[in-house]
Amino acid sequence: MEEQTLKVQKIRNGIVIDHIPCGMALKVLKILNINGDIGSTVSLVMHVKSRMGCKDVVKIEDRFLDEREIDKIALIAPTATVNVIENYKVVNKHKVELPDEIVGIVKCMNPRCITNQREPVVSEFKVISKNPVILKCKYCEREMGVEDIIENIL
């Protein structure tokens, strides 16, 4: 039986987020606030077989990421790479890196935490595990896993 391949169209300018853990591509789109009204082409490929097992890939035309967005991706897809595409060519490729501390990107899920009160305190978390990702609030010491992080990302 002849093997068929499905090809995704190349993008002229934008980003390709590759090596996303299997099944996490929709969550990457969610944390980047990408929905149906983006106005650009978004290609999403899930459960692709690769040398490392299974991965997802997201291509977003005419969109680039700032450092804060890359840090958000690192929180839920620490194995991802971000490729910057210009004129159909990869001009920059880098692996996301989960920092040891996360500041102002995630809201603490503890409603009694000082960061959720009327005080002007920015949330801060220490990364206590990178695989799986687990954060610990600097103020109330509440621990958060990936699902909690996705629901509380700013």
The CATH number of the domain holding residue 123 is 2.30.30.20
Question: Locate tokens 């009327």: which residue?
Answer: 118
My answer on whether 87 and 110 are in the same domain is: no
Q: Are residues 30 and 83 in the same domain?
A: yes
> With 70 as the cut, is the pLDDT of residue 113 above it?
yes
Whether residue 107 sits in one domain with residue 89: no
Give yes or no: residues 82 and 107 share one domain: no
Helix or strand or coil: residue 60? strand
pLDDT for the residue numbered 4 = 56
pLDDT, position 8: 76
In a domain, 110, yes or no: yes
User: The domain that contains 89 carries what CATH number?
Assistant: 3.30.70.140
The answer to the question of whether 22 is labelled as a binding residue is no
Sign of CA dihedral 94, 96, 102, 105: positive
DSSP run (H or E) holding 48: strand 42-50
**pTM metric for this prediction:** 0.84
Say whether 54 counts as a known binding-site residue. no
Could you tell me if 87 and 41 lie in one domain? yes
> What's the pLDDT at 134?
95
Segments forming the whole domain that contains residue 120: 101-152
Domain count within the chain: 2
Residue 2 — pLDDT band, cuts 50, 70, 90? low
Residues 34 and 79 in one domain: yes
- Interval 93-110: pLDDT, tens: 999 999 999 999 999 999
